[in-house]
Every structure is written in C-alpha cells, then in structure tokens.
Amino acid sequence: MNLTLRQGEELVSSLMDSLPKNLTCEVVIAPPLTHIHFLVNQVSGTPIQPAAQNCHHAASGAFTGEVSVEMLKSAGATYCITGHSERRQLFHETNDFIRLKVDSILKGDLIPIFCCGEPLEVRDKGEQNSFVLKQLEESIFHLDESSFLKLVIAYEPIWAIGTGVTASPEQAQEMHAFIREAIRSKYGQAVSQAIQILYGGSIKADNALSLFTKPDVDGGLVGGASLESKGFLAIIEAACG
C-alpha cells in the first residue's frame, strides 16, 4: 500500500526508460488496486506484465471492498498474488481460504503467484519444512498437473520481510530445493523443473545476484526495493543475468 497514482506513473515511467531492450526474464508489477487499469495502459506494448495484489474467490456478491478475478481481468491484469504473508497474518487468511482463491484465479484465466513461508517461531523450532509443506498440500496440491503448471510459487521467509534481515543464499536455496522436491514427489520431475519458484524476503540490489545464482531460485518477489526505480532495475538486471 504505497504511492499515489501520479507517483506510481512516475516510477513505472522511470523504470521503462531504463529497461534493457531485449529482456531475458519476465517483469511483473503488482500495484495497488486503484492503479491497475492505468498501469495496463502505461505498459501496453512493453514486456512488463500487470498483476493484482489480491482478490476475492467469489465471482460477485455482498463483499464490500473486495474485488473479483473477473473484475481484475477486465481491468487488464494477467497475474494475481495470493497467500501473501501479510494477508495471512494481518487478515487471517487460512490455507483453505487461499485454496479457494487459487481455484478462482485459475478459473478466471489469470496466473496465480502463490506465496508460502514460515514465521520466525517456526524457523527457530526447525519446523519450517513441515510448515511450508502443509501450505502447499492444503492450498495447491489438489490441482491437476495442467493447472499446477500455470502457477508461480514465491517463498517468503516471514522473518525476513520488512525487517532488513535476508535469508542467506544458502537458506533460500535449501527451502527452494525442498519445495521443488515436494513438487517432484507429487507431480514428477518434469513438472518440478518447469515451475518457477521465486524468493521474497528483503531482496535488494546488493543481494539479488547472490540469491538468483542459486540453482533453485528462479527470480524474486520484490517488496520495498521496487519502490525506487534504480534499485528495482538492478534487481531486474540480476534476474536477467
């Protein structure tokens, strides 16, 4: 929840002015809901794809303040984030509730960016693997193979979000490898290798490359560092290699 419409326009304009001409990676921007339609027009004809930060699973109804997947699609969004740690923690969204959102996003022909990750107390107990596995099992492992292949997964170590603390590249790789192995056990080797698993946890220009060079880290879900074009561009350049 950052930036006015004009500030967002200026940020994206600055980013587009400096983007490499031939990008070798995907760039997705998820602005506040009020900005999506404007962003869609602004990035038309560029490699940048627009995303929503959230949705409701229902198609319509008495859900004041919420937005449906159909509404997002009509505004031009191509992706939708779900399961973000802040939605889980601040708005008490459960694995089952997120499962409904995943199904709705897929039914609406948008691409879900499914977030998972453990809080500090779970990490301190050494229970992060079982915690994240439960998130996967209860929210996305019900999908058939063709639907599952449409997902993007983002691992968020909650203890490293907004704290300035970043998981080490080795910690990130360890969890990404665990998630990929869980997918392999459920769906097979080909699917596990095809799925993009992003890292999201205080990713910045000065640590992006060390994270992205790990074999199971396919990119980043960037938070505060995306609010300044120079730093965001450096992260994009690190992802594109």
Residues annotated as catalytic are 84, 156
**What's the whole-number mean pLDDT along residues 137-147?**
98
In a domain, 9, yes or no: no
**What's the whole-number mean pLDDT along residues 128-146?**
98
Asked if 148 and 110 count as a contact pair (C-beta separation under 8 A), the reply is: no
Can you give the C-alpha Rg of the chain in angstroms?
Answer: 17
In a domain, 8, yes or no: no
In a domain, 143, yes or no: yes
- On the question of pLDDT at 105 being above 80, the answer is yes
**Residue the block writes with tokens 């915690």:** 131
215-239 per-position pLDDT tens digit: 999 999 999 999 999 999 999 999 9
In a domain, 2, yes or no: no
Q: In CATH, what number is assigned to the domain containing residue 120?
A: 3.20.20.70
In a domain, 89, yes or no: yes
Number of domains in the chain: 1
- CA 151, CA 113: separation in Å to the nearest integer? 6
165-224 per-position pLDDT tens digit: 778 999 999 999 999 999 999 999 999 999 999 999 889 999 999 999 999 999 999 999
**What's the whole-number mean pLDDT along residues 51-66?**
98
Owning domain of residue 148: 29-240
In a domain, 4, yes or no: no
CA angle 86, 128, 130 (to 5 degrees): 110
20-44 per-position pLDDT tens digit: 888 899 999 999 999 999 999 999 9
